[in-house]
Chain A
Amino acid sequence: MKNKYSIFSLIKNAFSYHENWEKAWKDPEPKKEYDVVIIGGGGHGLATAYYLAKKHNTKNIAVVEKGWIGGGNTGRNTTIIRSNYLWDASAGLYDHALKIWEGLSQELNYNVMFSQRGVMNLAHNLQDVRDLKRRTHANRLNGIDAVYLNTEEVKKFCPIINISPDIRYPVLGGTLQKRAGTARHDAVAWGYARGADEMGVDIIQNCEVKGIKRNGDAVEGIETTKGFIKTNKIGVVAAGHSSVIANMAGLRLPLESKPLQALVSEPVKPIIDTVVMSNAVHAYVSQSDKGELVIGAGTDDYVSYSQKGSHDIVEGTLNAILELYPIFSRMRMLRQWGGIVDICPDASPIISKTSIKGLYFNCGWGTGGFKATPGSGDLFAHTIANDEPHKLNAAFNLNRFVSGDLVDEHGAAAVAH
């Protein structure tokens, strides 16, 4: 049992100069055999292990991670959380996650700094206005909070936006989801890691998967840089590298991995207290608790695993940011980076069994996986434990690319990449 984090533990540890905090998770060597092995120690993978142990009473679980936990896309995204998706299946999936976010810090006894500061999506042309109004209605029918704002209401909610009618892409309106917001990305990975570790999950870092051993139509284990690990159930949550793992098992996925870029500015005093996203000009911005502007750019259109994107993508995004927020014209950018995102043809994820027994994939989250972390882990754990999907992720199966029953969230999901 781990010591609970509280104001008292903080005071107690202050007396020993914070040098005696117990480790949040162990750093074990892999055992010979596990009941379930999760490949990928990001937020989704750790959450999967956590819910497998907590809700499905699975005892012998390992999470293998080639680098350090939370070091991939979990640490590279712009931390936006929302559930205002168009289609019923997506609304169910993302709102399930949002509801877990609302109690997550308490549940994990770890402050994930979930902040429901609202997410506003802007409309810049008449089609945007129609699309966003339609989405607002669809959201309300699904019980998701959404309001449509006119230009003045957008300005009132975020006063630094330039609503001048003579800019290249004028602000014609927007939608607002007040329950949406941000969370601290690292804390999500660390909180789930601590929770999973407490229930006996082995979190094995610096352990790269080199092969998947199959016996006919079933999996037998994985080859790793730390040796062979025997298991009958493998859950792959490898984001941009999902296809690489799939190739090891002789499986084909409908994914393309592309760089998605983001950047942060130097820290400044509080200036923007919400998240503003803009589909048409592709720019979104929020402010971290440290004071940095967190700016999301677009994806490059070519496959790449290089974790760096093209300069023109960043330039395009910053052009849009400057037109919408002239006040940022002298801001200096501190860091810029790329994450490799695995994009499905219909821009919806895959949380699914495969044609190989004991091999499960949770991938295709593309440009928007962070927001779904708790829900994704919960539903993937259910899918692995029961060998069949939960009703909330039944639509997100791999077979939809054969049946044609796609969940097309391209453009409809409030931001297009």
Chain B
Amino acid sequence: MFLINCPFCGEREQSEFKAGGEAHIVRPKQPTELSDDQWAEYLFMRKNIKGIQFERWNHIHGCRKWFNMVRDTSNDEIKAVYKMGEKPPVK
């Protein structure tokens, strides 16, 4: 259990949110050109990092908006929260 600072609503309990997985996976620009390997990479392969991970979250029991988060997955410490389309504030 941890608190998440929703960029639209402020600090709320994590149970109000839904995790949306790894962030910044770019949708293929030309899907018809993709090989099976590239599809597998896009659809299934994940970094699944132990440490600093960039991910998407949705405030599903609040404003229902998507946003991005930088979190240390080894201890669940949140490093930053930023809106969709913005550049990550930390490297």
Contact = CB atoms under 8 A, between A and B. Distances in A.
Interface string B62-77: 0000000001011110
B19 A305 contact: no
- Interface of chain B, main secondary structure: mixed
A304 B13 CA distance: 17
A305 B73 contact: yes
B39 to A, nearest CB: 8
A301 interface: yes
Given A243-B50, A303-B22, A345-B43, 19 more contacts: A241-B50, A243-B46, A244-B50, A247-B47, A254-B40, A254-B45, A254-B46, A256-B46, A257-B73, A301-B19, A302-B55, A302-B57, A303-B19, A305-B50, A305-B73, A306-B76, A310-B15, A401-B40, A402-B37
28 contacts: A243-B47, A243-B48, A243-B49, A243-B50, A244-B50, A247-B47, A252-B41, A253-B45, A253-B46, A254-B40, A256-B46, A257-B50, A300-B19, A301-B18, A302-B19, A302-B55, A303-B48, A303-B53, A303-B55, A304-B73, A304-B76, A306-B74, A306-B75, A306-B76, A312-B15, A345-B43, A345-B44, A401-B43
Interface residues of A, number: 27
B73 A303 contact: yes
B66 to A, nearest CB: 14
Given A243-B47, A310-B14, A402 B73 contact: no
* Residue with the greatest number of chain A CB neighbours at <10 A, chosen from B18, B44, B55: B44
A255 B48 CA distance: 7
Given A305-B73, A312-B15, A402-B40, A256 B21 contact: yes
B21 to A, nearest CB: 7
Given A301-B18, A312-B15, A402-B37, A257 B48 contact: yes
Contacts of A23: none
Interface in B7-50: 13-15, 18-19, 21-22, 36-37, 39-41, 43-50
A27 B54 CA distance: 40
Interface of A: 241, 243-244, 247, 252-257, 300-306, 308, 310-312, 342, 345, 401-404
Contacts of B14: 310
Contacts of B21: 256, 303
* Residue with the greatest number of chain A CB neighbours at <10 A, chosen from B22, B40, B75: B40
A255 B46 contact: yes
A243 B51 CA distance: 12
B90 interface: no
